[in-house]
Structures are given as structure tokens and as C-alpha cells.
Amino acid sequence: MKIYKSKDEAYAANVDKAVSRLLERALVHGASDVHIEPRERTVVVRFRVNGWLQEVAKLPLPSLDAIIQNLKQRASLNPDLINAPQRGSFRFESENIEVDIQVATMPTVGGETLTLHLSRHLGEAATLEELGFWGESLKRIEMTIAEPHGLVVAASPDNTGATMTMLGMVHLLNSPALNVMTLEESIDHHLPGISQTQLNTAAGVTFSTGLKALLNQDPNVVMVSHLHEADTVRTAVQAALSGRLILGGVHLSDAARGVAHVLTLSHEPFLVASSLRLAIGQRFVRRLCEHCREQYEPTESVRKELRQLLKASGVTSVKALHQLELAAAKADMGAHAASTTEKAITRLFKASPDGCPQCYFTGYKGRLGVCETLRISDAMQKLLAQNPSVAEIRKLAIKEGMIPLPLDGLVKALRGLTTLEQIVPLALGT
């Protein structure tokens, strides 16, 4: 039994244990971020799990200062600086799980708020199937990366999905016969056999300089997590034309916008049209808890909303949607009977309002990838050379068989994997 020299030392030890328990709880929940926020009478603790915030605790307001001081000490921050934001980090380990925690403080009217970002040291990247790719979209990716050269653009709003998708492709390409290299903003997955480089602007390793340096290493495949500067885009295009396979990520909401982004930054539409092979769009939505999800028959107003979504996705009949759902079922998406017939949508799913212990009583458990793949056909190449609009690119892609994000999401909602409410914003472009 440890004997403390003073009440203050004992109190500090108890605070340290409480903070450690809070961090352990965040790891158990799979939280990516922890928010500690003062309110009028309490301190609210929220976890961001699978992209969504949920309140997990309310603490007495007087405990705020002790918690802040403890975390500042761990992150080597100035404990006396309370009227200016600070940033720091520390490493935390619990039950063989190691995590780097970035700490950011911000002064507010009610007191300092803290945001903790947890970066786990992860191993093997998720497969493309685990990320939500199936059917024709999966085949398009596999066929494209089997080619020795070309540019593949992966788009998602925060680039998390894009990076995970590109790592899934890198995992497939990993071979002793290929030199595969990556340039990443943050390395969360350590991949054996892959040369991974992390961005380091202080040392002069930017995406522009880093990509040029990687190309001097005789790579067959290069993954760049961000293509957001004109110089980086032009270098990627030239590398793809010179015989390398380049995978590049962009912070955009869908595949057509990703293509337009590369066209705009390159200033050379013809070269982009010649080098680009595939554009991928991906968004993450909340995955329903399979243990407590509920099914319901759609009302007439919901059916009207579904018809509008189908029309926007280029689907002319429920029969076509039914065929897509059957294909998804064949690809082992969902484990129940079809939710459509050739004439009608017969059911949808929703989250249980009470949840269950499996999902921490939220009704949702995990994230689900909603995906689209835009193939660069001969007709698309001709269109891109004319520097088209996003709408023109998307229209031709759908005509040539692309399953757009809202439609892919709807099929997954029919299979009981998510809800219509999660999918509708995709059709609105939000």
C-alpha cells in the first residue's frame, strides 16, 4: 500500500487514476477523440466514436482544474497558461494497446476546454471489402490497380476514407516484385514490406517535395494521401504518364469532384485525361447494430423520398433496384431476405431508440463505407479533355454504369446495414 506524504499528493494520485480510467474507457469504446468541456454546473465528457459524438459522463465542475492540470503535465504543456490555446502530446498504454494522444486546449468563457485525439498504433489495413466495396465497384478497382501505370484518385470529405481505401489497394499490391511507397500525413497503419514516409514540414518534407523525392527511389507504386497543391498534382500526373501507378487522395465529397479537382489544379486537361484511370468516392455513415436494429414498412412519404433518390441516381425502376439488392445479397451484404420485390420497396431498417449493451445503447455500432467508382472510358477521356463541369462528369459516369454514392447507400440500407436518414444527405451532396 502506497503511503502519501500529504493530502495534495494523495489527491493528485487519485486524479491521475481517474484520468487514466477515462482514457481506458475511451479505448474500450473505440473513441477517436475525447472532448472535456465545462458547462454552467458540470464538466461534460464526450467521446467521438465512428465519427459521431456521444456524451459519456458528467463530472463536478470543481474537478475541471485538476483534470486539466493532469493532462497538461502529461502533454508537457505550461500549466499556468490558461488564456491562450496550447498543443502537446503524450503516449498512453493500457492492456497492450499503445496510443499517441494529442492534447489541444482552448480558453472559453466557462473555462478551458480540452480535446484529446487518440492515434492508435495499428497493424494491417482494412480490406476493400471491409471498407464497403462490392460487386462492380470492387472489380473496377482490382482491374485498375492490376495495370502497371496510371493515376487513381480517391475522394472523401476528411480524407480518412480516401487514405483507408488507398491503403486497402496498397495491401493488394504488396509484393516482393514491386517497390511500393507511401507519403502520408500521419501513419496509423504500419504495413510490412511497404516503405512509408510521414509528412514533416519542419524538415522540409511536404507533399510536393516528398513526392518528388519518392520518385527518385525507383518506385512501381506511390500512394500520396493528399493531392491538394497544383505542383503535387502535376508531378503525380507526369509520374503516371511515365510508367508508375499513382494513388492520390483529395478532400472532396465524391468521385466526380475529385476528377474536377485534378483537372483544375493540373491546368492540362489533356494530360489528366491521358493519365487518369479511376476515381473513387467514399463516405462513412453509421452502421446499424445488428443485435437491436428494427425494421419497418415505409410510409407513402418515405416512398416518395425513395423515388426521388432513385431518380437522382439514374435508376428508372424499382425492378432495377431489386436486381442491385439481390447482387448485394450474393456478395454477402446483410444476412436476411430481400427488402424489395420487382415492384416495391417492402421494408427499411432503423436504430433501436433504446439500443442494447452490444452498441452501448446507441443503436449503432461501427462505421459503414458508402462507395462509388468512376471508370475513365474512352468517352470519359474525350470529355475530360474539354475541361467539363462536375455535373457533366457525373452524368456520363452514371450513364456508363457507375453506382453513385446515394444508390450504393440505399442498397446497404435495404440490406439492414444502415438507415435511410444516413443516406439522404449523400443525395443532397452534404
Give tens-digit pLDDT for 273-328. Answer: 999 999 999 999 999 999 999 999 999 989 888 888 888 888 888 999 999 999 99
Backbone angles phi, psi at 178, to 5 degrees: -120, 145
Confidence of residue 3 (pLDDT cuts 50, 70, 90): very low
* CA–CA separation, 111 and 57 (whole Å): 18
Contact 90, 58 (CB under 8 A): no
Confidence of residue 67 (pLDDT cuts 50, 70, 90): very high
Q: What is the pLDDT of residue 319?
A: 93
Mean pLDDT of 209-234: 96
Contact 423, 409 (CB under 8 A): yes
Confidence of residue 429 (pLDDT cuts 50, 70, 90): low
Q: What is the pLDDT of residue 12?
A: 60
Cell of 221: 507504386
Q: Is 196 exposed, middle or buried (0-12, 13-18, 19+ CB in 10 A)?
A: middle
Q: Are strands 221-224 and 245-251 parallel, antiparallel or unpaired?
A: parallel
Residue percentage of the chain with pLDDT more than 90: 71
Contact 107, 114 (CB under 8 A): no
* CA–CA separation, 223 and 168 (whole Å): 11
Please work out, in degrees rounded to the nearest 5, the angle formed at the alpha carbon of residue 272 by the alpha carbons of 271 and 277. 120
Cell of 132: 464497403
Going by C-alpha positions, the residue among 223, 214, 135 that lies closest to residue 173 is: 223
Contact 221, 180 (CB under 8 A): yes
pTM of the model as a whole: 0.85
Mean pLDDT of 79-101: 88
Contact 384, 263 (CB under 8 A): yes
List, in order of start, the domains of the chain with CATH numbers: 7-120 (3.30.450.90), 135-286+369-401 (3.40.50.300)
Residues 6+ apart with CB under 8 A from 279: 152, 153, 154, 155, 255, 256, 258, 259, 373, 374, 376
Cell of 105: 486546449
Confidence of residue 417 (pLDDT cuts 50, 70, 90): very high
Q: What is the pLDDT of residue 128?
A: 94
* Beta bridge mates, 112: 107
Contact 154, 258 (CB under 8 A): yes
Cell of 58: 458528467
* CA–CA separation, 224 and 301 (whole Å): 44
User: Is the predicted pLDDT of residue 5 greater than 80, yes or no?
Assistant: no
Q: Average per-residue pLDDT in the chain? A: 90
Q: What is the pLDDT of residue 366?
A: 86
Q: What is the pLDDT of residue 208?
A: 93
* Beta bridge mates, 271: none
Contact 222, 183 (CB under 8 A): yes
Give the end-to-end CA distance of the chain in Å, rounded to a whole number. Answer: 56
244 φ/ψ sector (left φ>0, alpha ψ -120 to 50, else beta): beta
* CA–CA separation, 167 and 126 (whole Å): 8
Higher pLDDT, 422 or 335: 422
Least confident of 2-16, 43-57, 221-235, 364-378: 2-16
Contact 318, 340 (CB under 8 A): yes
Q: Are strands 42-49 and 52-60 parallel, antiparallel or unpaired?
A: antiparallel
Cell of 283: 463516405
Residue 368 vs residues 100, 117, 219, 332, 385: alpha-carbon distances, Å: 25, 21, 32, 14, 35
User: Is the predicted pLDDT of residue 59 greater than 80, yes or no?
Assistant: yes
Confidence of residue 430 (pLDDT cuts 50, 70, 90): low
Residue 2 vs residues 5, 9, 70, 210, 302: alpha-carbon distances, Å: 10, 11, 20, 51, 63
Buried-exposed string 287-314: b where 16+ CB fall within 10 A, e elsewhere: bbbbebbeeeebeeeeeeebeebbeebb
User: Is the predicted pLDDT of residue 51 greater than 50, yes or no?
Assistant: yes
Q: What is the pLDDT of residue 187?
A: 81
Confidence of residue 334 (pLDDT cuts 50, 70, 90): confident
Q: What is the pLDDT of residue 305?
A: 85
Higher pLDDT, 35 or 307: 35
Q: Is 115 exposed, middle or buried (0-12, 13-18, 19+ CB in 10 A)?
A: middle
Residue 404 vs residues 169, 187, 397, 407, 409: alpha-carbon distances, Å: 20, 30, 9, 6, 9
380-410 tens-digit pLDDT: 999 999 999 999 999 999 999 999 999 999 9
Q: What is the pLDDT of residue 214?
A: 95
